[in-house]
Amino acid sequence: MSDAIAQDWAQVTGPGGLDLLRRYLDGDQTAAPELTAIFEAADAGRYDAEYAGDPDPEKIHVTTSCHLMVMALLNRLTGLDAEDFYKGDALRYVRTNCLIQRMLGLERLTLGGPAYGFGAELLGQVMIYPRDQAPGSDPEVPLLDFDSWRDMPAYDPDHPVARVIRENLQHMARLGGIEPVAHMPAPYSLAAEIFGQEPLIGALALEPDFVHEFLDLIVTRVLVPWCEDLVANVPDVWLEFSDASGSPMFVGPENFLKFVVDPVRRIIVENPWGDRVFVANYRGDLPAGAPSRGRRKKSPAAVSSISFDSLLQAKKLCCPHFLMRLEADAAPLQDYIRAATDLGMPLYLGIGAVRLDRNSVPDLAAAGIELRQVAKERAGVIRQISDVLRGQERPRPVLSWPGDIYIEDTNVETSIDLMQQVLAGVSDIR
């Protein structure tokens, strides 16, 4: 029977369900009927009481955003397209994201989404919705330019995107048993989505006053009202601003400090809910002398003259609750251990998506051994810092995003076996 496993939650989240998922992602179409039955059972609410669980706050947990994997799976199994997946049924969206996280073996749930695309779409940006991928702004049709930026639309709480985000978070709080985390574009990244990456990069040098005014307008007209709406309608919500475009490795450390930090900091310090705001994905700590990657591939890489400690302090201003080291950060892990100890702050650690991508790893067996050791070492570091905090009577935070060890992206090209090695490495220290 195609629904044999689907009838039993223990099998869905046990080796049988994981094997179905692995086989289907590896191209085995015989797994499709049973996997489809599991999704249908989830959509019908059969597993609603099972998602929340009770993850031990003292354990080191692995988290990841898996909406890209869920999107592609549903498209292949049922023909659901991206626009309907992301905006058609909030409860289905939350249920299927919770389902896949549980099938992957993740205990602490979180809810990702197309933060940059949704932020731009909310303001009327022309979007591109690929059939089985997350939406993105149409780079050929920016919403605003140098002549029209002052006419930027205000946040509309009745917009379909605003509605579905509220509903997603409300469902996630109920089904996941967590304080939900809203994923929104930070001021700079939202500006890049609706103005264009290249024009905005150019304006950093040629029109700095415009950039400051533009970012301030985004804060006042869009992001603060949006946060106020979420705080009023979603109890205990956290507000995570994603800012890949504003990261030091893309705009350069000097521009990061000059343009990117202050608008986020303004949101944090000027609002009564500001202590619920954080940015955790600034990529590239770029200690002095390191080259920045830049958005324009043909341009020569700039060289940083900003110290690691200066960048870390700036990132701390935008993320007061914990320190985050992502795969793209250049400073040694030991520097983060020192900083977390000196500052008395928890440390979260990222593992880059490419390290788990089946197309990027030539030897999966060797990569699995390496990843298990990496995960074990990083879990040990997090435990070490947690013990220091406990000695200072500071409880370890249990935010669902980005979590203790964060796999920075999960999609249908992610190797299930490599993800299991990460989980095994974390379990090795328990």
- pLDDT tens, position by position, 407-429: 999 999 999 999 999 999 999 98
Q: Is the pLDDT of residue 291 over 70?
A: no
Q: Is the pLDDT of residue 297 over 50?
A: no
Range 294-309 average pLDDT: 60
Q: Is the pLDDT of residue 293 over 80?
A: no
Q: What would the pLDDT profile of 229-242 be if each residue is shown by its tens digit?
A: 999 999 999 999 99
Range 375-396 average pLDDT: 91
Q: How far apart are CA 99 and CA 12, in angstroms?
A: 9
Structural tokens at position 291: 């080259």
Cα angle, residue 252 at apex, residues 250 and 258 outer, rounded to 5°? 120
Q: Cβ contacts of residue 267 below 8 Å, gap of 6+?
A: 187, 219, 223, 224, 227, 241, 274, 277
Range 117-140 average pLDDT: 95
Strand-pairing partners, residue 127, are 137
Range 103-115 average pLDDT: 96
Q: Quick one: pLDDT at residue 3? A: 79
Q: Is the pLDDT of residue 295 over 50?
A: no
Q: At what angle do helices 67-78 and 32-43 cross, to 10 degrees?
A: 110
Confirm if 286 and 254 have CB atoms less than 8 A apart. no
pTM of the entire predicted model: 0.94
Range 182-210 average pLDDT: 97
Q: How confident is the model at residue 57 (pLDDT cuts 50, 70, 90)?
A: confident
Q: Quick one: pLDDT at residue 304? A: 56
Cα angle, residue 55 at apex, residues 370 and 411 outer, rounded to 5°? 50
Q: How far apart are CA 366 and CA 344, in angstroms?
A: 36
**Termini Cα distance of the chain:** 38
Q: What would the pLDDT profile of 317-343 be if each residue is shown by its tens digit?
A: 999 999 999 999 989 999 999 999 999
Q: Quick one: pLDDT at residue 77? A: 97
Q: Is the pLDDT of residue 178 over 80?
A: yes
Q: What domains can be seen in the chain, in order of their start residue?
A: 111-320 (3.20.20.210)
Q: How far apart are CA 69 and CA 75, in angstroms?
A: 10
Beta strands in 146-265 (DSSP E): 181-185, 238-242
Q: Quick one: pLDDT at residue 417? A: 97
Neighbours of 301 (CB within 10 A): 13
Counting residues of the chain whose pLDDT is more than 90, the rounded percentage is 86
Confirm if 164 and 90 have CB atoms less than 8 A apart. yes
Helices then strands (H, E): number in the chain?
Answer: 19, 9
Q: How confident is the model at residue 397 (pLDDT cuts 50, 70, 90)?
A: confident
Q: Quick one: pLDDT at residue 20? A: 96
Q: Is 48 exposed, middle or buried (0-12, 13-18, 19+ CB in 10 A)?
A: middle
Q: Quick one: pLDDT at residue 298? A: 46
Cis ω before 402 (30° cut-off from 0): yes
Q: Is the pLDDT of residue 300 over 80?
A: no
Q: How confident is the model at residue 163 (pLDDT cuts 50, 70, 90)?
A: very high
Range 114-121 average pLDDT: 97
